[in-house]
Chains A and B, each alone.
Chain A
Amino acid sequence: MTDGDATVATDHTPAPLPEPAAVRASSLLTTLGVGGAVAGLLLVIAFGLTLPRIEANRARARDLAVKEVLKAPERYDTLYVVGRTLVQKPPEGADPKKLEQVYLGYGPGNQRIGFAIVAGAAGFQDVIQLIFGYDPKTRQLLGMKVLESKETPGLGDRIEKDQAFVSQFVGARVPLLGVKKGKRSGPREVDMITGATISSKAVIRIINNALERLAPVVDAYPAEGQG
């Protein structure tokens, strides 16, 4: 371990006090400066090496989710919500990552399948983030997938693990209405999970609120040409 003392002059007159301190300060700064520079360099390299892979992972996860809730579209467009309209290209100077994105899926023969919308809000334990598919022509949901949730394992997390719950959203009409398990009677009703009412209600609420906001926006998106 370095002995931090600067070398003391060995002549008879006592060394002037400020000098050792000045020497020390510059060596402190040098050490930190060099250390910082090397650290910065290492990080830039690591960042450069891993960033493509990280972005690819993220894009693939989103891609899989969109395809799942739009029932395997042939392709899909990424649209951006600007104000109350959907646009294909983000406006000049706006960061596309900061804009809300909606995905429009197309089936064979350029038929529009529907829109995939991401939404999130507070659930039981923490925020639930999900994506769902919506067909404005029939006002029906095409599917629902939970993207992020910290709900209670074994109870609340069944909103993503219980296939019976998740598959109810296919073909459900909006706005959704949650009912006790087994009491489902109409196309708008969704059986909630016993013992996870709040998590179930949160999912329903998230979808309803998102559509309240976005249904007019996606309805207004000009229809493409042929089908």
Chain B
Amino acid sequence: MTGDLAWIFFSSMVVNNFTLMLFLGLCPFLGVSGKIDTALRMGAANTFVLVMTAVAVWALNTFVLPYAPYLRLIAFIIVIASLVQIVEMVIKKLSPALFRALGIYLPLITTNCAILGLAIFQTNRDYGLLQGLVFAVGSGAGLALALVLMASIRESIELADVPAVAQGTALVLMIAGSLSLAFMGFAGLLSSS
């Protein structure tokens, strides 16, 4: 079982990184990755929401959805939207500074494909509660990792002389492609012979 958990964690964090390999969570990745600081905060907020989503999804899949499988998607999206609202309120109460720093990006977590993506993968792979939690922490760490890496690179090239046609999203996508290429090197690392 532990080998299983270790594989789930490592796979979701690097081998099948949500952003660089599975193309989830691209909106914040392309939008928020300008500064390392914001990137870290966004990554942390996402991980928090992911973990709570994993628990909620497990509960839904175990107790509620077997009776109405066609309501799966609606149930997931409602739960995610509610969780994000709750997280927003909690952050606002606990740390107004953080709330202001995250600004618009907090509600944007709802439409972050990564959260719903986690819910769907967790369901398809039939993960139990512990596996789901490890999956959530791993993918959250992966999202944060991708965000921070991208932010570091973007901060470094901020003053570089990029041709005008390539500025903006095109450049970020090229950097993302290079990162993705690098991450492909992680495949096969955990396979036992």
A interface residue numbers (CB < 8 A to B): 39-40, 43-44, 46-47, 122-127, 152, 198, 201-202, 205
Contact = CB atoms under 8 A, between A and B. Distances in A.
Contacts of B69: 47
Contacts of B70: 43-44, 46-47
A125 B187 contact: yes
Contact of A122 (B71, B74, B191): B191
A215 B15 CA distance: 33
A122 B190 CA distance: 9
29 contacts: A39-B74, A40-B71, A43-B70, A43-B71, A43-B74, A44-B70, A46-B70, A47-B69, A47-B70, A122-B7, A122-B11, A122-B190, A123-B191, A124-B187, A124-B188, A124-B191, A125-B15, A125-B16, A125-B187, A126-B15, A126-B16, A127-B125, A152-B187, A198-B191, A198-B193, A201-B191, A202-B191, A205-B192, A205-B193
Size category of the B interface is 10 to 19
Contacts, number: 34
A190 to B, nearest CB: 14
A95 B17 CA distance: 34
Contacts of B188: 124-125, 198
Contact of A126 (B11, B71, B192, B193): B11
Contacts of B74: 39, 43
A47 B70 CA distance: 6
Interface of B: 7, 11, 15-16, 69-71, 74, 125, 187-188, 190-193
Nearest to A39: B74
Contacts of B191: 122-124, 198, 201-202
Contacts of A47: 69-70
Given A46-B70, A125-B15, 4 more contacts: A122-B7, A122-B191, A125-B16, A201-B191
Nearest to A122: B7
Which of B15, B74, B190, B193 has the most A CB atoms < 10 Å from its CB? B193
A201 B188 CA distance: 11
A86 B38 CA distance: 56
A198 B11 CA distance: 15
A39 to B, nearest CB: 7
B17 to A, nearest CB: 12
A50 B166 CA distance: 46
B113 to A, nearest CB: 18
A43 B71 CA distance: 7
B190 to A, nearest CB: 7
B168 to A, nearest CB: 31
| CB-CB nearest 10 A-B residue pairs | A47-B70, A43-B70, A198-B188, A124-B188, A198-B191, A125-B187, A122-B7, A124-B187, A201-B193, A126-B16
A169 B90 CA distance: 58
